[in-house]
Structure 1
C-alpha cells in the first residue's frame, strides 16, 4: 500500500490500457471500492479479471455506458452511489480518437461524434461527480492534524492530452476536443475550490497502447521522434501521475495541468 487511500474511486474508460493502469494503481494505493465505466463489455471484464487476480479483496463495480448519453450516465451514477454511497476520486479518462485529416477535409459526422464523446461525455460525467461531491461530507479518514493536509469533498482528474495545449498536423478534431476539456478543468477548479472539491488535468504524450497501431505509429512517427526522452510512455507512468493528483498528496493543487509527455511540451 503506497498512499493509503480509503475513499471510493471512479474511472471512465476503465477497459482501455490507461484506464486499467489507473484502476490497478488506485488498488495498489489502498482503494478497496472502485467503479469502472466503459462502453466495451469485453475490455471492462478484462480489467475486472486482472484487478481481482492481484487484489481479490477490492470491490469493482462495472458499468457499461456511453458517456455521451445523458440517461446512461445518470443511471450509471445512481448505480455507483447506491453501491458505494459516495465518490472521492474521479478520473474522466474515456475518449475516442479522430481521423487523420485536415479540418477543412473533415466531415461533420466525425466532428460531432468526437466532440460528443470527448467534450460532452466528459462534461456529463463531471457534472454528476460535482453534484455528488458537493453534497457529501469531506473524507477525513486520510488526514490528521499532524499531516498538514486538509480533507476534501472530492477530487477530479480530467485526462486531456499533449494535444490539449499543443497541436500536430492532421489531428484537428481531436485537438479541438482536448483543448476544450482543459478549459472545463480550469473553470471548474475556480468554481469549486471553496466548496472543497479539487479539479486538475493531466496531458499525456504518446502512450504505448494497443490503440497505437502500426499505421498510427507511422503517421505519428515524426512527432514521437521529437520526444526528448526518445520513447513512448508506459500506461503505468501516466497512471502514477493521475492517482497522485487525485489523492490527498496533492491537497493544495487545483486548476493545474500536468504534462506527462517525456518533455515534449518543454520544447
Structure 2
C-alpha cells in the first residue's frame, strides 16, 4: 500500500543495537532516500549502517553513521548539522537511545548518581534531540506525497517517534530511575505535540513491554526469573521482538498516520489493559 511507503530522510538515534538498529533496517527496507544512524558505540553503528544500506529497497538510498552522546548539547548539534549537510532535511526522527538502572533496589537504596545517569540519557537526551530536530523541521517545506488513487496528501514537516516503555504508564518495584525517566518521556512527547502541531510536526511514542534486546538479556542476568515472569504475564508467552517495535515506529512515520499525533502506542500484548482473572 502506498500509505506505508517512505521516501524521505530518516535520523535514527540509538541505532547500534536493539530497537534502534531494527528501526534503521525497517526504514531502509521501506524505501527511504537516506538514513543517518547515530549511536555512542562507533564500531557497532558502523556495522549497522553497512547492513542497513544492504537492505535498502531504494537503489539510491544512502546510509551514513555518526557518533553521538545524547547528553551533550554540542554532540547533538553536530549530529543534526551532519544530517542537514548530507540530506538537506529531516523527515523522520526516531529516538531509541536509552539505558536501564544499574541496580534494582528500593528508592531508599537507589544511588543518586545512577538516577542522574539514567535521567540524563533517557530524558534529557531526548529533550536535546527534539530541541535541535524541531528547529530543522520547522524551517523546511512540508512534504506533499502522491498516494496514487488517493491523490496528493500533505504529510507535514516531519514525524518524531520516541521509543519509551510500558514503564511510561505503569511501574514495578526496584526501578525508580527507569520508571521516572520513561514517565517523563510521556511529558516530553505531549509537550512537543502542543508546541509543534500547528507547524505540521507530529510527535508520538511507542511503549513496549520486555523486548528481546541486550538490555533484556542483562535484566535476565540480574533477575534470573525474568524469563519466567515474562512467559506468565505476556499473552504471546515471550518478549516482544525488536522488529515488532520497529514496525510501530515505521507506521507512525508513514502517510497513513498523518492524522496520528500525541499517541502513546503500547506494545504489551494487552498487559496494561487489566489483570488476568480467569
Note whether the superposition's TM-score is higher than 0.5: yes
What TM-score, normalized by structure 1, do the two folds share?
Answer: 0.94
Q: 2:252 aligns with which of 245, 253, 259?
A: 245
Q: 1:90: which partner in 2?
A: 93
- Give the secondary structure class of the aligned counterpart of 1:169: coil
| 1:97-141 CA-partner distances (Å, limit 9, x unpaired) | 112111211111101111111111000001111111011000113
- For 2:111, the equivalent position in structure 1 comes to 107
1:232 to 231, 239, 251: 239
Residue 162 (structure 1) aligned with residue 166 (structure 2)? yes
Q: Render the CA deviation track for 1:213-253: whole Å, top value 9, x for unaligned.
A: 24146253464221222211111111001110122210101
- Verify the 8 A CA contact 1:6 1:142 in the aligned structure 2: no
* 1:124-163 matches, cutoff 5 A: 124-142=128-146, 146-147=150-151, 149-163=153-167
Q: Structure 1 residue 210: deviation in Å?
A: 2.7
Q: Out of 175, 180, 183, which is 2:184 matched to?
A: 180
Aligned twin of 1:66: 69
**Alignment partner, residue 203 of structure 1:** 207
Say yes or no: does 1:120 pair with 2:124.
yes
Per the alignment, residue 224 of structure 2 pairs with 218
Inter-partner Cα distance in structure 2 for 1:217 and 1:144: 51
Q: Distance in 1 between matches of 2:60 and 2:17?
A: 22
SS at match of 2:53: helix
Q: How much does 1:16 deviate?
A: 1.2
Q: Within 2, Cα distance between the matches of 1:145 and 1:196?
A: 24
CA offset at residue 149 of structure 1? 3.9
**Cα distance in 2 for residues equivalent to 1:140 and 1:97:** 39
Query: Would you say 1:41 and 2:48 are equivalent positions?
Result: no
* 1:69 to partner: Cα distance: 0.4
TM-score (norm 2): 0.90
Instruction: Indicate the RMSD between aligned Cα atoms, in angstroms.
Output: 1.9
Moved more, 213-222 or 234-243: 213-222
Measured against aligned partners, the alpha-carbon deviations of 1:16-65 in whole angstroms (never above 9, x if no partner) come to 12111101111111112001110001210221122233337531121101
Secondary structure in structure 1 of the residue aligned to 2:215: coil
Correspondence for 1:258 among 249, 256, 265 = 265
* Aligned-partner Cα distance in 2 for 1:135–1:168: 41
Task: Give the SS at the match of 2:216.
Answer: coil
Structure 2 gap ranges (5+): none
- Point out the more displaced range, 243-252 or 137-146: 137-146
| Secondary structure of the corresponding residue to residue 66 of structure 2 | strand
